[in-house]
């Protein structure tokens, strides 16, 4: 099997196999590898304590359906918020991706080998020289997954639908963005639509059924 085919199979494994449905780049993006390396090496991002507490209090009841253990919920939410601040992305979007990827099971493993909350493929560890990293660890997995998502938002020029499809390895398909945006709007969204140009533009440009009337 060629390196090109092997990498394609691995990248599709960023999500459960049943959802992966399109082509992906044949070699790791150097900018993404660099971002991952810096994100994993950096100390935890500092956040505004008041804003963090408001978001945590708002999000905790929503997560109870998936995580009954209070300490685990707190760890997931704190880590998500820190990584959202680090990469300047919506923390609620990270939660929506997690819901679709793993239903918040940090031990989830896809048939392709993707691991953890955000279903990260193990090959990324070798790409950044950290083969020892444990992708079932909450902090480690969220750092990897958030950096990957942030990179795709950047290369997609904040086109949320395209970025989600890239994350899924299904660029040009709408199934995965529909699932994530439905989860986002149905459970996690806390920001108003006028603060989310990526969402409103994506809903307008792609006509996603998950968007519905954008009246929030």
Q: ∠ CA(144), CA(145), CA(147), 5° rounding? A: 70
Report yes or no on 204 lying in a domain.
no
> What was the pLDDT predicted at 24?
40
- The pLDDT value given to residue 13: 41
User: How confident is the model at residue 214, as a pLDDT?
Assistant: 59
Report pLDDT for 11. Answer: 39
According to the model, what pLDDT value does residue 50 have?
A: 79
Write down the pLDDT at residue 133: 96
Query: Which DSSP state fits 193?
Result: G
pLDDT value, residue 45: 58
Q: Is there a domain that residue 170 lies in?
A: no
Instruction: Please indicate, yes or no, if residue 128 is contained in any of the structural domains.
Output: yes
Q: What is the CATH number of the domain that holds 146?
A: 1.10.530
pLDDT at 47: 61
Tell the burial category of 74 from Cβ atoms under 10 Å away from its Cβ (0-12, 13-18, 19+).
Answer: middle
> How many domains does the chain divide into?
1
Angle between helical axes of 138-155 and 30-41 (0-180°, round to 10): 140
Mean pLDDT by 10 residues, the chain (216 residues): 40 41 50 76 66 93 97 97 95 98 97 95 93 97 96 93 93 95 95 87 89 65
In a domain, 210, yes or no: no
Closest CA relative to residue 155, chosen from 22, 39, 32, 36: 32
Q: Provide the domain limits for residue 10.
A: 3-157
Q: Is residue 109 part of a domain?
A: yes
Look at residue 55 and tell me if it is in a domain. yes
Separation between Cα atoms, residue 171 and residue 87, nearest integer Å: 22
Residue 114 resides in a domain: yes
Is 214 a domain residue?
no
Query: What backbone torsions phi and psi does residue 189 show, to the nearest 5 degrees?
Result: -60, 125
pLDDT in the model for residue 184: 96
């Amino acid at each position: 099997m060629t390196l090109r085919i092997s990498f394609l199979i691995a990248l599709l494994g960023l999500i459960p196999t049943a959802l992966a449905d399109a082509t992906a780049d044949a070699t790791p993006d150097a900018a993404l590898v660099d971002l991952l390396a810096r994100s994993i090496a950096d100390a935890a991002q500092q956040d505004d304590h008041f804003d963090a507490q408001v978001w945590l209090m708002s999000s905790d009841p929503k997560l109870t359906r998936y995580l009954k253990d209070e300490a685990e919920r707190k760890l997931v939410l704190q880590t998500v918020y820190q990584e959202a601040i680090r990469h300047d992305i919506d923390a609620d979007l990270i939660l929506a991706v997690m819901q679709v990827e793993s239903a918040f099971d940090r031990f989830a493993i896809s048939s392709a080998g993707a691991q953890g909350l955000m279903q990260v493929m193990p090959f990324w560890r070798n790409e950044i020289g950290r083969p020892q990293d444990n992708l079932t660890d909450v902090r480690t997995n969220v750092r990897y997954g958030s950096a990957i998502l942030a990179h795709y938002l950047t290369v997609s020029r904040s086109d949320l639908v395209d970025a989600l499809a890239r994350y899924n390895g299904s660029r040009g398909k709408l199934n995965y963005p529909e699932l994530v945006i439905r989860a986002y709007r149905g459970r996690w969204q806390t920001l108003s639509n006028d603060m989310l140009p990526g969402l409103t533009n994506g809903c307008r440009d792609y006509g996603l059924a998950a968007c519905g009337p954008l009246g929030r």
